[in-house]
Amino acid sequence: MIVGAYCNTPLLYDPLKKEAVVPSHAIKRIALLTGGGDCPGLNAVIRSVTKTAMNDHNIEVFGIEDGFLGLITNRLRLLRNSDVSGILNIGGTILGTSNRDDPFRFVQTESGQKVIGDVSDTVVSHYHEHKLDALICIGGDGTLAIANKFSQKGLNIIGIPKTIDNDLCETDYTFGFNSAVAVAMDAIDRLHTTASSHHRVMVIEVMGRYAGWLALASGVAGGGDIILIPEIPYEIDSICQNVRQRNEYGKRFSIVVVAEGAKSKGGEMVFQKESEKPEESRLGGVGNVVGRQIEECTEIETRVTVLGHLQRGGSPTAFDRLLATRFGHRAVEILMQRKFGHMVALKGTEIFPVPIEKAIQQLKLVPLDHPLIKAARSVGTSFGD
């Protein structure tokens, strides 16, 4: 037996691998945070991580309040079984979250002026002050990009991918996406009946940021007649022609599903709010633009519904509950294997560790030859091109 540098923990030598193996009891205390926008399934992950760590490995688990802001302001609390029981089906996050508090670009007010500074060393100090052995970060590309920077600063980081946008590379699905699709699909179903009754065009704007996964999946599932996504710039004349043809064929209503990041050919995305900081820019309003243009060129009454944060709220679907539970369990497993700097990812039916750095290199956009686009075109769906 030899003695390792990690807290004087004994290292066992594995003659087959010809390397020292850190026994599982080297990890005693971990923390987890939820960052970025909320979504259904976050509590399911918190539950899975906490119970797996405590029940299988006798590890203390601390919850960090309000994402990285909680690490900046040193707000951590010990999680117990009672804290994470009965939360599997509850939306949101019991820890709170924030999508504005990047420790590497933290906004503070000094002498009445807003100043951007780097407080990442404060986070590192709090990490060591609480004698944490690892930090599990649950979030999308923004949260994981910050987590990756802390990994480079020497913290032991494990990532869990979350976003209703499903735009993270290296994983087939993120939890939260399926629940958001279900909400949007239900809304489209309901709009069908009122659109049919009044012979109107119904435009429904969904989230998704710069990727069209949410609009594509909910639009196809809800039987949308026209689906507009960022990856396929639209032509308003093509949309109007499609609406007119439906009218001529006796289909006196149309459902248009619009991703918030959709844009016309040669045009720009529509923002409610633009900022130099990408995380503070807010997409939205393209549904109203498209709706107004359709009504003007077809003279058919058009109504617009913006789903907004309805897509983030409510209970997770069965799929997201299962995926979140598996992600949480697997995250603890790779943590015990000391595969730090990695994120759990769903590939097919299995969950594997992938480098966080690789997962955040670029957004996962909808390929133009995606099978769902091909299937949608075959059943008569237009993409406005």
Active site residues: 165
- With CA atoms as reference, report the closest residue to 160 among 30, 322, 46, 9: 46
State the Rg of the chain over Cα: 23
Residue 95 CA to residue 46 CA, distance in Å, equals: 9
Going by their DSSP bridges, the two strands 10-14 and 19-21 should be labelled as antiparallel
Task: Write the CB contacts of 348 (distance below 8 Å, at least 6 apart in sequence).
Answer: 172
Residue 75 CA to residue 78 CA, distance in Å, equals: 10
Task: Write the CB contacts of 283 (distance below 8 Å, at least 6 apart in sequence).
Answer: 209, 260, 261, 269, 270, 271, 272
- With CA atoms as reference, report the closest residue to 258 among 383, 96, 367: 383
User: ∠ at Cα 342 (4, 6), nearest 5°?
Assistant: 15
CB-facing half-sphere around the CA of 351: CA atoms within 13 A: 22
Residue 165 CA to residue 163 CA, distance in Å, equals: 5
Residue position matching structure tokens 């599997």: 88
Residue 113 CA to residue 226 CA, distance in Å, equals: 47
Q: For residue 286, give the amino acid letter.
A: V
